[in-house]
Amino acid sequence: MGSKVLRAFITLAFVVMFNFFLFRMLPGDPIGLYARGRNQDPEQLVELRRALNKPLLEQFITYLRNPFDSTIDSTRFSRPVWEMIGERVWPTLLLLGTAILLASLIGIWIGIRAGWKPGGRFDRMSTGTTLILYSMPEFWLGMMLLIVFSVGAFGIPGMFPVGGISSPGVDTSGPMGWLNVLWHLVLPCTTLVLIYLADYALVMRASLIDERKQEYLTLARAKGLRDTMVRKRHAVPNALLPTVTLIFLSLGFVVTGAITVETVFSWPGLGLLTYEALRGPDIPLLQAIFLMFSIAVIVANLIAELLYVVFDPRVRS
């Protein structure tokens, strides 16, 4: 287990190095990169140029001492970068957490029903649907849902807000505020759930189809168990293991969805922050966001590997 943590740490180290060197090692004036499109305070520029003229190694060590330096300012917002990230983390967690939970439950249920009787009617319908969802850009689905359910189209009245996490003037600390947030959560969450569940359903289905061929299931039937019991007690627990691991490992895919969907729905999380940072481009902010996302995904991968050890008795000993 120690080696897994070590490997995660090494991956992280490379992320930090990559983050630092990418922007420094390109030809051309790095100041130009930082100041692109913005009117920078000339004093700030001089200061920046002096810092960048120091030897590369010295800069790197300074950076390493604290990559989470809270004094690095966003060039666009003129506020400490990590302060901004701290603010935006919770909305993203709310959105992604809810979406992943719902998508897992629904996706796994679909996958089990489809995989247990492959070629059957449910399987053909659901596999067709999930393949289409899998081929869909998530932000496009979000935009279409907005048009239909928020603005109203094709005869359906608009019932949901056009964006944001809460209506202006609503106090989000009380239960009425929470309801308001929930109302805003519906469309972006639905978008993500639809996209994520396609992946999970396909994986669970494939896993169960493989499991069906195993001999211990014939043994279970020979003992007199009904088909549903054979599925629930024997096949699914075995097929679930690789599926859950894969769900954790697909966090990179989840992050991609978050960025674009938050943009479409103006959901004030890390994803929208990324989009705003892109408009600059706000390099310090982008670097920090990249670091943040990478850490999240590396940690999720590590959890996936450790979970496998905990839940699979074959690996435990």
Residues 198-257 that bind other proteins (CB under 8 A): 202, 206, 214-216, 218-226, 234, 237-238, 241, 251-253, 255-256
Phi, psi at 171, each rounded to 5°: -80, 110
* Closest to 44 measured CA to CA, from 83, 68, 75, 20: 75
Q: Which residues have a Cβ under 8 Å from the Cβ of 152 and sit 6 or more positions away?
A: 158
Q: Which of 5, 33, 51, 61 binds other proteins (CB under 8 A)?
A: 33
Cα separation of 148 and 162, whole Å?
Answer: 11
Phi, psi at 169, each rounded to 5°: 85, 0
**Residue 217 contacts residue 234 (beta carbons within 8 Å):** yes
Span near other proteins by CB under 8 A; candidates 38-46, 51-59, 139-147, 175-183? 139-147
Q: Which of 45, 93, 151, 309 binds other proteins (CB under 8 A)?
A: 151
Cα separation of 309 and 317, whole Å?
Answer: 9
**H-type helices in 25-80, by residue range?**
30-35, 42-53, 56-65
CB of 171 to other proteins, least distance (A): 26
Give the residue with the Cβ less far from other proteins, 162 or 176: 162
- Site residues (CB under 8 A) for other proteins, limited to 272-301: 274-275, 278-279, 281, 283, 286-287, 289-290, 293-294, 297-298, 301
- Site residues (CB under 8 A) for other proteins, limited to 42-71: none
Neighbour-count burial for 131-146, b at 16+ CB within 10 Å, e otherwise: eebeeeebbebbbebb
Give the residue with the Cβ less far from other proteins, 180 or 301: 301
Span near other proteins by CB under 8 A; candidates 10-18, 49-57, 82-90, 99-107? 10-18
Give the residue with the Cβ less far from other proteins, 100 or 148: 148
- Site residues (CB under 8 A) for other proteins, limited to 153-172: 153-154, 162
How many chain residues touch other proteins (CB under 8 A)? 73
Span near other proteins by CB under 8 A; candidates 18-26, 48-56, 58-66, 75-83? 18-26
CB of 203 to other proteins, least distance (A): 10
CB of 175 to other proteins, least distance (A): 30
Q: Residue 81 is encoded by which pair of tokens?
A: 């970068």
317 binds other proteins (CB under 8 A): yes
**Residue 165 contacts residue 76 (beta carbons within 8 Å):** no
Q: With left for phi above 0 and alpha for psi between -120 and 50, is residue 28 left, alpha or beta? A: left
